[in-house]
Structure 1
Amino acid sequence: MSEIIKTVSIPNIAWETAADIHFPPNFDENKKYPAVVCAHPIGSCKEQTSGNIYGKAIAEAGFVVVAFDASFQGSSGGKPRFIEDPEFRVSDFRFVVDHIQTLPYVDADRIGVLGICGGGGYAINAAMTDYRFKCCVGITPVNFGRLSREGFACFDPVGALEKMAAQRTAEAQGRERLVINYLPSTVEDANKATSDIDIIEATEYYKTNRGEAPNGCTSGLFSFNSAALAWDAFNHAEVLMNRPLMVVVGEKPGGFGAYRDAHEIHGRAASKEKHIVVLPGVSHYMLYDKPEAVKPALEQLLPFLKKHLGDAK
C-alpha cells in the first residue's frame, strides 16, 4: 500500500464511523504493527489535533494510528447532529477496535488509546471498560461529565437539566433544535467576555486559521446534553483502571479543568504503572498544536507507547 492516510468507514450501531488510518513510513502490509486509536476533543474532528498533530507524529514513530470522528459529529453518521453523549463517545472506541483488530497488518494484542481534552477523558474511560486497549494516554484530559455539571451548567446542574428537559419537549413537538456554540465567535469577543485562558485560547485555536476545520464546529445540541450530567469519566477508576496510564498536562490551569482532572485520575487509577507529566509554562490549548508543548509531550508519550506496544514485527 502506498497511502500515507486512508479514510475508512467503520460500522457502528446503526450508522458509519468515519476514520483516518495513518500509516508509518515504509509501511509493509505483510508486517504486524502496533496500533493507537486517537480521539478528538469536544466539538472537534479527526482532521484537527487528534489526527494532524498526534496521529501524524505517532504514525511517524512506527505505529498504525486511527483517528476517528465521534458519532453524530464530523464526517461520522448518526442523527440528530451535534450530540455529545459520553456513552456513545466511549462506545465509538469499541467499534473502532472491532474494525482495526481485523486488519491483517494490525496486531490485535498491541492496541493503545490516546485522547485530547474531552477525548482524553473518553479514552481513559474506554481503557477502563475495554481491555483490548493495552495502555492509555490522556493529553490534557477533561472529564466532560464534571465539566457539564460545573462550568457548562453555570454550577447549577439541576437548573440546566430542567432547561434541557423543556427544550427537548419543545423540539419533540416541532420547535427548531437548539444548537449551541461552546465558544465565542471571535477572539475579540472572547477577550471581552472573559479572562479565562481556556476560553480565549480555545477561540484562538478553533475560530482562526490556526486550527479551524470544516467539521471542527465546537457545537452541541443543547437538549441532548442531559446525558453528560450524570456521567463521570473516572467512575470506578480505583478498581477498573488497571492499564498502564500516562497523562500529560500543562502547568497553567484554565476553566475547562484539565489540570485538576489529570491529577485526579492519576491519583485514583488502580494502574500499577502510571505517570503524570506536568509541562512548565504550558496551557491546555498549547498542547493541541504548539511545538514547544507538543514536542516535550511526544518525548514522554512515544517511549511509553513503545514500551507497552512494541515495534512492527
Structure 2
Amino acid sequence: MKSVKIKHTYWDIAADLYYPPNFDESKKYPAIISAHPIGSCKEQTAGNVYGKALAEAGFVVIAFDRSTQGQSGGLPRYIEDPAMAVEDFSRVTDYLVTLPYVDADRIGTLGICGGGGYAINATMIERRIKAVVSITGVNFGRLCREGFSGFDPIGQMEAMARQRTAEARGDAPQVDQLIPPSLNVAHEAGITDIDVLGATDYYRNRCINDHAGTRAMFSRRAASVLWDGFHLAETLLTTPLMVVVGDKPGGFGAYRDGLEIYGRAASKVKELVVVEGASHYDLYDQPDPVGQALAKVLPFFQKNL
C-alpha cells in the first residue's frame, strides 16, 4: 500500500493505493476507486475490506477520504456536500490517468453506503468510469429529506439557515454526531433500529479509527437535502452496474434505494445481488456477507473492466 495526496482546488485529497500481488509498474492494470461511507474514512471498509480484496484479485485500488473529511484537506471540516463529494471522484480519476501502470480505459468505482450513492451519481457524470458497484448504497439526499430530518425537510433547512447565520456572526459551528457514542447509550435511549445500532457497533467497537468523523456540520447540509443521487439515471446511468444489498432492511434505506436504482438505471448490463440474512453493516466487514458480495463483485469487475 502507498499513501498519496491528490490536488483538489485549494487542498489535497488523501488516498491510499492498494496494489495487486507481484505488482509490476511496467504493466497496465485496471483500477477501482473505492469510496467510503458517510462518516467513515478510507482506512475502514472501503480500504481494509473491499480495497484489499480487489487488489488481491488483480486491480489497482485507490481508497480516498472525501474533501473536508479524514486526512483530506478542506475547510470547514465535516461538510457533507454531494456536489463536492461527486467532484472528488473526478479528481481521483484525474490522478489515476496520470499513472503509467493504470489502464485509463479500465477504471471502475465501488462505493459503500452513502459512498455507493455518490459513486452511482459520479458514474453518470464522469464518463471515464466504466463500471460501478454499490455496496448497501444509500441515496443520501433521500435519507436527509426523510429520516435525517424527521420527515420535515423544510423545517430542518430553516434551522440550517438560522445556524449558518449565527456562524456567520461569530457563533461556534454546530457539528452533529451521526451516531450514539456507545451501544449502551443507544440502548438507554430506546434506539431499536438495526442500522443505527449496526453503525454504533461498527464505528465504536468493531472498526475504531481516529480518522472517521462520524459527524457532519449542520449548517452546510442543506445541499444534501436538495440532492437526488439517482436523478436522470434512466438517461445517464448507462455503464455496467451492480447493486449489492442485504435482505434485512433498516432505517437508512439501502434496500429500497438499491431496488430503486436497479430498476431505474439505463444500464444494459446490471445485476442485483441480495445477500440473505445480511443487514447494512454486516456488509461492511462480516466475513460471510462480505464473502458473498465479493463472490459477485470480483467477476463483475473482471468482466466489465
Q: Which residue number in structure 2 is paired with residue 295 of structure 1?
A: 291
Matches of 1:299 and 1:191, distance apart in 2: 35
Q: Is it true that 1:285 corresponds to 2:289 in the alignment?
A: no
Q: Is it true that 1:262 corresponds to 2:258 in the alignment?
A: yes
Aligned residue identity for 2:302:
K
Matched residue SS, 1:287: helix
Matched residue SS, 2:133: strand
Q: Is it true that 1:105 corresponds to 2:98 in the alignment?
A: no
Moved more, 227-236 or 182-191: 182-191
Report how far residue 13 of structure 1 moved.
1.6
Structural mapping, 1:95-174, within 5 Å = 95-174=91-170
Aligned residue identity for 1:152:
F
* Aligned with 2:203 (options 206, 214, 222): 206
Matched residue SS, 2:4: strand
1:140-199 CA distances to partner (integer Å, 9 max, x unpaired)?
000000001101100000000000000000001000001000101101111233110000
* Aligned with 2:222 (options 209, 226, 233): 226
* Aligned with 1:196 (options 193, 210, 230): 193
* Contact residue 69 and residue 213 of structure 2 kept, 8 A: no
1:226-246 CA distances to partner (integer Å, 9 max, x unpaired)?
110110000000000000000
Matches of 1:77 and 1:168, distance apart in 2: 21
* Aligned with 1:304 (options 290, 300, 304): 300
1:115-147 CA distances to partner (integer Å, 9 max, x unpaired)?
000000000001111110110000000000000
Q: Which residue number in structure 1 is paired with residue 88 of structure 2?
A: 92
Q: Which residue number in structure 1 is paired with residue 248 of structure 2?
A: 252
How many residues are matched?
304
Q: Which residue number in structure 1 is paired with residue 4 of structure 2?
A: 8
Matched residue SS, 2:3: strand
For structure 1, the residue ranges without an aligned partner over 5 or more in a row are none
Report how far residue 217 of structure 1 moved.
2.1
Aligned residue identity for 1:122:
Y
Matches of 1:273 and 1:28, distance apart in 2: 31
Q: Which residue number in structure 1 is paired with residue 28 of structure 2?
A: 32
Q: Which residue number in structure 2 is paired with residue 18 of structure 1?
A: 14
Aligned-residue CA RMSD in angstroms?
Answer: 0.5
Matches of 1:249 and 1:130, distance apart in 2: 24
* Contact residue 35 and residue 42 of structure 2 kept, 8 A: yes
The alignment's TM-score, normalised by the length of structure 1, stands at 0.96
Matched residue SS, 1:174: coil
Matches of 2:130 and 2:29, distance apart in 1: 14
Matches of 1:123 and 1:188, distance apart in 2: 33
Aligned residue identity for 1:84:
E
Matched residue SS, 1:113: strand
Report how far residue 59 of structure 1 moved.
0.2
Matches of 1:128 and 1:189, distance apart in 2: 40
For structure 2, the residue ranges without an aligned partner over 5 or more in a row are none
Matches of 2:165 and 2:262, distance apart in 1: 40
Q: Is it true that 1:77 corresponds to 2:73 in the alignment?
A: yes
Matches of 1:69 and 1:39, distance apart in 2: 8
The alignment's TM-score, normalised by the length of structure 2, stands at 0.99
1:183-226 CA distances to partner (integer Å, 9 max, x unpaired)?
01101111233110000010000011x11101112010000011
Q: Which residue number in structure 2 is paired with residue 236 of structure 1?
A: 232
Q: Percent of pairs identical after alignment?
A: 60
